[in-house]
Copies of this chain bind each other. A is one copy, B any other.
């Protein structure tokens, strides 16, 4: 029953990370979920910086996320702006202090200590194993994958070496393609 072993390890890792996030966030008056939202906003692209995207990513309800965002806005860690084309949609951008805070918090020192003990080969093995498990978990449950453009079926490379998203019909810079997207779909 390897499944149970894997489950145990993932559950425990998740707990430990939450403890680390709680410690790190507490120094700035933030809850673990706040740290996660700030983290998400620091790695998502401009099509995925909305309350609904955060909702899908964290697996919470939109009402819950709305409250969380209100707190972060009040603390001036993010700025809301209404989409030009669709006035229902709100975009969330990290403020300067928000960006600074994310850089401070992530990854937590708890985690850096651990990785320092591992060889580059071990880290690579762990990285690919985790990604494999994650993808299995997401696809098996029909959840959004939130991957980067490199692994997305909509991504096209133009003849001059630039990138183009076939879904939103927009050109993307190389930096763009490093960010995660709520519309991502595996190839």
Residues of A within 8 A of B (CB): 2-19, 36, 39, 43, 58-59, 106-108, 110-118, 120, 122-127, 129-134, 136-141, 143, 146
Contacts and interface: CB of A to CB of B under 8 A. Distances in A.
B10 A39 contact: no
Contacts of A5: 127, 131
Copies of this chain, count? 2
A7 B107 contact: yes
The DSSP consensus for interface residues of chain A is: helix
Nearest to A108: B7
Given A116-B140, A129-B126, A7 B58 contact: no
A122 B131 CA distance: 12
A131 B2 CA distance: 12
B17 A112 contact: no
A2 B129 contact: no
A50 B143 CA distance: 38
Given A14-B10, A36-B15, A130 B129 contact: yes
A111 B3 CA distance: 8
